[in-house]
Amino acid sequence: MVFSYKQTANCKKLIRVKWMNHRRSYGFFYYCLCTSFPVFSAAIYQFWVRIDDLKILLEALVGVGNITGYIIAYVCFLKKQKQIEELLYDFKQFIEFSELKLIEETERKVAKYTKYLLTYVTVGLMLNFIWQMFTTESCELQRGSEFYVKHDPCWMPVRNIYPFDASDRKYFWVVFPIESIYAYHISCFFSLATSTVMGFLMHISAQFKCCLDKFDHVFDDVEDNEISHNKKLDEFIGIIIYHQRILVYVFITNHSI
């Protein structure tokens, strides 16, 4: 989620909003969908042989669940892209009530937490791959038979069943990068989806705090004259309008996301 701002002569206006463009992101979606067939095959095969290994079945079902969740979430985000872009564009209405600095500081926090989350995912997957390399012998023993060693080789991020000997080097170094890429993509997508929702919540929370602060100090330094009273009344009415707009924005956001 990235906001772009421009300082104009009369006021601070939000002039452009960008969001991750998913119009051409179906490529990764189809890539992950096609390359995940061996994971589904691993679960189907266990039912075919009447659950030869319960552990393999459970691990394969976890992989199937993750991929299915990714497919549903990805399609939903693609369908909701226009609404999300409109929500980001509509956020410019709060420039009238809150300082531009508040929105920029909140956006920096969102960007920081998003980087932390992506770093955590990247490092976690790398450590997982490295750990499997150091425990190859143990992994092969857990496979239980030569069939699984060949058709469901170690080092893979999830359990699979390939119709060929995937442990052979000339095949392994083709399927391993393919699986690693889609595993990383799925993990990053869930992280970015989480950070998108988190970003909306952080911005809305910041606006609520700003509104509350204005309400707490609206009647400070009131002078005993009609001009001061009218000025404070206008400020109070502005705060009510500000609060109403936040509530409407929250309602629209909730129904859009």
Q: In this structure, is residue 227 part of a structural domain?
A: no
pLDDT of 246:
93
If one counts every other C-beta atom within 10 angstroms of the C-beta of residue 218, the result is 14
- What are the DSSP calls for 174-211, one per residue? HHHHHHHHHHHHHHHHHHHHHHHHHHHHHHHHHHHHHH
Give the residue from 96, 124, 95 showing the smallest Cα distance to 107: 95
Cα 156–Cα 160–Cα 192 angle in degrees, nearest 5: 60
Residue 141 lies in a domain: yes
| Count of domains for the chain | 1
DSSP bridge partners of 126: none
48 located within any domain: yes
∠ CA 233-238-240, rounded to 5°: 95
Q: What is the pTM of this model?
A: 0.77
Contact 103, 26 (CB under 8 A): no
Residue 32 CA: distances (Å) to CA of 74, 80, 205: 11, 20, 35
pLDDT tens digits, the chain, 257 residues: what are they? 444 434 333 333 433 334 444 445 677 778 878 888 899 999 999 899 888 888 888 988 998 998 999 888 888 888 888 888 888 888 888 888 888 888 889 989 999 999 999 999 999 999 988 888 888 888 888 887 888 888 988 888 888 899 999 989 889 999 999 888 888 988 888 998 888 889 999 999 999 999 999 888 777 776 667 666 777 788 888 889 999 999 999 998 888 77
Rounded to whole angstroms, how far apart are CA atoms 33 and 40?
Answer: 11
Task: Using the structure block, give the residue that is written with the tokens 């857990």.
Answer: 142
CA max distance for the chain: 92
Cα(39)–Cα(168) distance, integer angstroms? 19
Bridge partners (DSSP) of residue 7 are 12
Backbone phi, psi, residue 9, to 5°: -70, -35
In angstroms, the Cα distances linking 174 to 129, 168, 169, 225 are 16, 10, 8, 81
- Domain holding 175, by residue range, is 2-217
Scanning the chain, the segments in alpha helix (DSSP H) are 26-35, 37-48, 54-79, 81-90, 100-134, 136-143, 146-151, 169-217, 226-256
Q: What is the C-alpha separation between 185 and 74, in angstroms, rounded?
A: 11
Residue 227's pLDDT is what? 66
Pairing of strands 12-18, 2-7: antiparallel
111 close to 192: Cβ distance less than 8 angstroms? no
